[in-house]
Structure 1
Amino acid sequence: MKLTYGLLAFFLSATTLLTAQKKDITLEDIWGGTFRQERMESLRSLNNGNEYVVLNFDRESGTSSIDVFSYETGKKTRTILNSGDLDGIQYFSGYEFSDNENKLILGTEIESIYRHSTRGIFYVYDLKSKELQKISEDKIKEPTLSPNGEKVAYVFENNIYVKDLASGEVTQVTTDGEWNKIINGVTDWVYEEEFSFVRAFEWNKDSDKIAFLRFDESEVPEFSMDVFGQDLYPSKTTFKYPKAGEKNSDVSLHIYDLQKNTISDADLGDYEDFYIPRIKWTNDADILSAQLLNRHQNVLDLFFINAKTNEAKIVLTEKDEAYVDVTDNLTFLEDNSFIWTSEKDGWNHIYHYDKSGKLKNQVTRGNWEVTNYYGFDPKSKTIFFQSTENGSINRDVFSIKANGKNKKQLTDKVGQNSADFSADYTYFINSFNSATTPYEFTLHRAKDGKLVREILDNQKLLKQMADYKFVPKEFSTLAVNGEDLNMWMIKPANFDETKQYPLFIAQYSGPGSQEVGNRFHGTNDYWYQMLAGKGYIVVGIDPRGTGYKGAAFKKVTQKELGKYEVEDIIEAARILGEREYIDSENMGIWGWSYGGFMSSNALLKGNDVYKMAIAVAPVTSWRFYDSIYTERYMTTPQENPSGYDENSPINHVEKLKGDYLLVHGTGDDNVHVQNTMRMIEALVQANKQFDWAIYPDKNHGIYGGNTRLHLYTLMTNFIEENLKVNPNIKSSL
């Protein structure tokens, strides 16, 4: 069919008129909650497998309630507890059931310490007697009910205590706890940050023994930060922080026998300078498992310790030329055989071992990654997991028999599928999203994935977004340095391939990470859409060293962080700059944390490619970062000085030619502001001009009040000032 000129002109003008009514995305929209998605409240399956509970908060009354819902109907069936019925508690902000669901721990006055750790005032509520009992008058850490619900263990001032709930008697288990010296039952800073756990004690299933870790951090160097606050004089916070190559805590494993009121020391052999990143009781109440990791983190031994005889034996050893990942996937079956995940065949897969550590079979296999292990159903002998079998940028949920047979795909939408299973594995709630679909929550049967009901979607958000200028991400791969790197691209809405656009690259690039995923907009994605609306082409890319494409791809950066991935990021921009529609003289990059380390290196080492860079909270020398993370990939600075120094941006400041914005929070306990201050001094001494911003008392996330709005305004202005958009190509939408 042919269109006459007049009809074509009418069609184009009508289209322009229609799209011209769409609104620009603003930073106020992004940080003011305009695009907020609805999510499911945090839920916990009840043991019956037919119901789940949700913690709700009533803003009008200011009360909390634990409400029960039916999986099958989604309807509320009852309320277990409402704080309005309790004396002494206006509301609670957290709860935890005993294993038998007869008692609840309720958390109030919770305050954060570091990334994962908190302290607060806690109560135990007896669901049968309706009695409420305060655990301690002090703010305590990690209260945990015994499996039989009769006692509660907790940590206060670095010591472990056990309270008998019937008598009210409190037993102090350890007595040597002291700030910045000895820690019992919770982790030190670096374990919390890098091994991602806080509670370092575990009840056995008979409730008569507690295994716990003890950290002696007496000789660990201290790090201090000024806290500027609102007072006339700043204060100072000091904590133990082992930097790469420095002294770590001496960690030891102990077992407390409640009946004998004695502590025994687990004899783990002649190990030196090691970590214990996980402890877990087996289904035998006298057999404790412990994972020991050497300081290089490339040899992991799984121990079984007999609590009666104190005999310890190694049942499994994992070795890797680079490093062994620590996970929470260890699962003990009824016969004390166990499920384990490993990258030993080059891809992360599930393995089944007998109780002596002999391999029974490799459960999953293929050139794809198991990305989440959900659990084992003993009735059907079925394992549930998530994987990248349908592409590294996608996730799907599967089931498979423990013998490796009868694998089923339980999800059918292309994008990010994530499951939350009922306690008896009858149902799972699937959380789905993709680049074009915001979060959808649906209920499915676990045995076959059949849809039971739709729970929640975000169609309201999609309708709201229709009023704004959005352009879909284009997913592709880019051939760089012999690898096909995953990439997404957002073009301006009025893109014209005969014109040239400035390029802005977004990346994180850290080991095992992923920037390029088929998932819906995060907060930064709205910012990228806003930049595209201003006339920029925005690209996300995952260089070598990132995750979900096999161990070889991920671990190629070993001992050389900042070498291969920086080479990829520079070469990728150079290749993209050869496209006729990209202005190769007008390319920039940004990143946060590891991404800031990368963007700094890219601007310095790629000074003939990148015109500008933004680095937020960057590592500027791996010598400044913590021992566990850094040495996992780099070994120690004493062993690998060239790997540390040749790839750290602080040692390449003389190469600065472009425009550089450096941002940090002074309260960053993770990547210390020391990184930025030392980088600034190096730049000053090299007589290099740059821009920088410091956010007082803000941590690694740099947020609170208007902080994020201010930061993104600063970065947007910097981009517009230093990556000039040709006025003739700005979006006309």
Structure 2
Amino acid sequence: MRKSIFITAAALLCLLGTGYVQAQHVPTLDEVVYGGLIHTKGSTYVNWLEDGEHYSKTEKNPAGGYDIVSYRAKDNKKETLIPASMLVKPGTNDTLSVRSFAFNADHTLALIYTNTRRVWRYDTRGDYWVLDMKGGTLKQLGKGMPESSLMFAKFSPDSRRAAYVSRNNIYVEDLSTGVITPVTTDGTAEIVNGTFDWVYEEEFFCRDGFRWSPDSKYIAYWQSDTKGTGWFDIINNVDSLYPKISRFPYPKAGTTNSAVKVGYVSADGGATTWINIPGDPRNHYIMRMDFIPDSNELFIQQMNRPQNTNKVWIASIGNPEPRNIFTDTDAAWLETNDNVTWLKDNTWFTWESERDGWRHLYRVSRDGKQIVPITKGDFDYIEQAGIDLKRGVVYFIASPDNFTQRYLYSAKLFGDGTVKRLSPTDEAGQHQYNISPDGSWAVHAFSNAVTPPVIDMVSLPSHKSVRTIEDNAQAKAEYDALKLQPKEFVKTRSGELELDAWMIKPIDFDPAKKYPVIIDVYGEPGSATVQDVWGGGDLWHQYLANQGYIVVSIENRGARTPRGREWRKCIYGEVGTFASQDQAQGILDLARQYSFIDTSRIGITGWSGGGSQTLNCMFRYPDVFHTGIAIAFVADQRLYDTIYQERYMNTPQNNPDGYRKGSPISYAEGLKGNLLLIHGTGDDNVHYQNCERLVNELVRHGKIFSQISYPMRTHSISEGEGTTMHLRKTMTDYFLKHLPAGGR
């Protein structure tokens, strides 16, 4: 039987003139969710040592535990810095599991972070141990404090002490005696010292909230008074017989913020001196504070509540009255200024600004009277990649000619604004860099949508590759073997405006037929979706495509792309309105360009801000979008936090019409098509409250919809066995049922 079937099949193949070929493997949902099809290795992350010539990492020791080793950039010469045998807890056979580590200035001490716990997004709470590199002794910091309660421990510059946060207070520990001195004592559930409340962590990326002075005598820190801020409750109905309630301060748009201030205290303890920065502390933000190098002066950034004015202050230890040296403004909003570098004996500092219509790097004189462009041109300085103070060069990422790609450029810190591209011209896509502290070396990765990262070590400024770290040839072969339709980058239009987009077609695509479309949308100022970068093969999108859909993403106005200030900020005060308009007009224009798009079968889905845009599209353009799946969405912009929402919308009190127009809930009665709502009840970021309020409004208007609530899942909806598979299977089944697949 088998032989005759084989002969028949072979004969048929010969008759067809194709020869024998192996059947193409189409990825299954199990393979998409659980992995195993494409094995991508490596990353640009390394822990550069201060000498700029070596980087360190942890490596498994054959005898057990992990060694901390270093590699020399020039020739990959390896040296074991800390063998696993030195990381055994005293009196036990247990080796520390190293989450991260840091050395003091002369590498005589190492600080080991272990036994970590998550605080909201990141595991910033745990245990710290100090290893004496010469004597080999290993001692735990914070003896007597609760397990895994220490945060942000760091050595004093003179290496005599370490400071850390525990239970909202700051402590200093003498490394020779073990004596612990509390330098703050008023920390409570409402008074937060040395770290931050939820909204500062989420929106300003503030976590470590204290700084050692360069002379090791003082600690400067943030204090947040959350009294008066609204507390949000999350109800846990799944882990015990009776519900458990977790509470945390969460200021919603237009409501009361925490009162935040900064001050300094002696590392020996005593009273804090608060810096008298003008302005209501509940209606201003202090987003950044650091000591100016080799001085006892603090460089402080303070934004007003609308986040369109950033005042730079300098405050000196011993004088609580700060000096306002520079003020940046924008008619819409400003971004936090990171990577500030001091130049020429602290007489200049670097500053990023969009004051000429493009984002560029400037140098500002210490008195704030001179601001000189370091980079010039009709392009956006996307972000700093590194700096070489010896050569007077800054390295940065930009992409003047293709907004979906990223390349390395350089400019002179005291030049004429001319920039030079360093990334190879024959590698179209995105380039990522981890540059050494002195700017001499970089771990470099190149990828694009169909090319897994090729990682190498390059010398700068020549960008000469000295060694391949990981070529990912296996991953490339695995991807190519799947014979998937590659992601295609195309252009579309919204009125007179050209938009970037991509599309993925089914494996068996027939251009003579018409196919339904699923749009993957984000659309808010926080991110961008149309990126020519490796995304693991885009297997989820490929899976959807191979069910019989054209999968599309369109980059609407306001997205975080390097197209200039006007592109990003034209949506100020109207987040959500332009996005849904561009998505609707963009997909109709694609249909005019490509006859295989079936405008009677258009679906859309998105997560978080993308969930909000999905709802806006479904409600405001119901004749364009027929089926939508909105995940972890903001239904009413008044329900999201102050810092994010007010940055782009001002307050609801000042912009009530903008909040109404931008909130999907305002248009719920417009629903005509098929809608699935998905939300986690434990979402501390975009609260489940959004889903319940929208459901209430849809019911009021008699609208039929579907809903899936995932108990106690967070914003990622990833916790718990089987969750990701269940979510993706639910999405697939809903589209297949309500948006008929396949070419016609």
TM-score in terms of structure 2 length:
0.93
Cα distance in 2 for residues equivalent to 1:13 and 1:516: 40
Read off the aligned partner of 2:455 and give its amino acid letter: F
Q: 2:423 matched to 1:411? A: yes
Consecutive unaligned residues in structure 1, runs of 5 or more:
1-8
Match of 2:362 among 345, 351, 356: 351
CA contact (8 A) 1:125 1:131 kept: yes
Question: Which of 222, 237, 242 is the aligned partner of 1:213?
Answer: 222
1:653 aligns with 2:668: yes
Q: Would you say the 8 A contact 1:474–1:490 is kept in 2?
A: yes
Measure how far apart 1:522 and its partner are: 4.3
1:258 aligns with 2:273: no
Cα distance, 1:146–1:680 mapped onto 2, change above 3 Å:
same
Equivalent residue, structure 2, for 1:22: 24
Partner AA of 2:539 in structure 1:
Y
Of 208, 215, 233, 1:224 maps to: 233
Matched, 1:237 2:246: yes
Unaligned runs of 5+ in 2: 1-11
Letter in 1 for 2:556: P
Corresponding residue to 1:710 among 726, 730, 735? 726
Q: Deviations over 1:26-85 (max 9, x none)?
A: 121112122342123742111222211012345x76523211112122242224242565
Which one is further off, 421-430 or 708-717?
A: 421-430
1:56 equivalent in alignment to 2:59: yes
**C-alpha distance in 2, partners of 1:606/1:192?**
36
Structure 1 stretches of 4+ moved >6 Å: 9-12
Cα distance, 1:84–1:72 mapped onto 2, change above 3 Å:
same
Matched residue count: 716
- Structure 1 vs Structure 2 CA RMSD: 2.0
Contact 1:331–1:375 (8 Å) recurs in 2: no
Which residue matches 1:150?
A: 160
Deviation at 1:500, TM superposition (A): 0.4
SS of residue matched to 2:50: coil
Letter in 2 for 1:350: L
Is 2:576 aligned against 1:576? no
Structure 1 residues 16 and 329, CA, compared in 2 at 3 Å: closer, same or farther? farther
Q: 1:11–1:145: structure 2 CA closer, same or farther, 3 Å change rule?
A: farther
**Change beyond 3 A, Cα 1:16–1:692:** farther
Q: Distance in 2 between matches of 1:697 and 1:555?
A: 35
The alignment status of 1:586 with 2:601, answered yes or no, reads yes
Stretch deviating more after TM superposition (340-349 or 129-138): 129-138
1:411 corresponds to which letter in structure 2? S
How far apart are residue 314 of structure 1 and its match?
1.2
Distance 1:243-1:403 versus aligned 2 partners, 3 A rule? same
Are positions 1:387 and 2:401 aligned together? no
Q: CA deviation at 1:573?
A: 2.1
Equivalence for 1:402: 413
Q: Which amino acid aligns with 1:331?
A: T
Using the aligned pairs only, state the percent identity.
Answer: 34
1:553 aligned residue: 567
Residue 80 of structure 2 is aligned to residue 78 of structure 1: yes
- 2:3 aligns with none
Q: Deviations over 1:172-219 (max 9, x none)?
A: 11111111x100110111000000120111112221121111111111
User: Using the alignment, how far apart are the partners of 1:12 and 1:131 within structure 2?
Assistant: 78
Report matched runs for 1:276-315 at 5 Å.
276-315=286-325
Which whole-Å CA distance do the structure 2 matches of 1:365 and 1:342 have between them? 12
1:420-456: CA deviation from partner (whole Å, max 9, x where unpaired): 1123222111121111210111111112111111110
Task: Evaluate the alpha carbon distance shift between residue 228 and residue 440 of structure 1 in structure 2; reply closer, same or farther with a 3 A threshold.
Answer: farther
User: C-alpha separation between the residues in 2 aligned to 1:549 and 1:450?
Assistant: 30
Aligned to 1:537: 550
- Structure 1, 510-519 or 261-270: larger mean CA deviation: 261-270
Task: Write the distance in 1 (CA, Å) between the matches of 2:205 and 2:382.
Answer: 17
- Aligned position for 1:38: 41
CA distance in 2, matches of 1:81, 1:252: 43
- What is the Cα deviation at residue 482 of structure 1? 2.0
CA change 1:343–1:11 in 2 (3 A) is farther
What amino acid sits opposite 1:632 in the alignment? R
Which residue number in structure 2 is paired with residue 197 of structure 1?
A: 206
- Counting only pairs closer than 5 Å after superposition, residues 709-728 of structure 1 correspond to structure 2 as 709-726=725-742
The answer to whether the aligner puts 1:319 opposite 2:329 as a matched pair is: yes
* CA separation of 1:294 and 1:65: change in aligned 2, threshold 3 A: same
Aligned partner of 2:71 in structure 1 is 69
1:523-554 deviations in Å (ceiling 9; x for gaps): 7x211111222221111110011122111011
Query: In structure 2, how many angstroms separate the alpha carbons of the residues matched to 1:286 and 1:199?
Result: 19
AA at the equivalent of 1:673: Y
| Equivalent residue number for residue 676 of structure 1 | 691
Deviation digits for residues 222-275 of structure 1 (CA, Å, limit 9, x no counterpart): 000012343222311000000000100011110112367442111112445100
Paired amino acid for 1:382: V
Q: How does 1:305-704 map to 2 (within 5 A)?
A: 305-336=315-346, 337-359=348-370, 361-405=372-416, 407-412=419-424, 413-522=427-536, 525-547=538-560, 548-578=562-592, 579-704=594-719
For residues 510 and 97 of structure 1, the distance between their equivalents in structure 2, rounded to whole angstroms, comes to 40
Contact 1:83 1:92 survives alignment (8 Å):
no
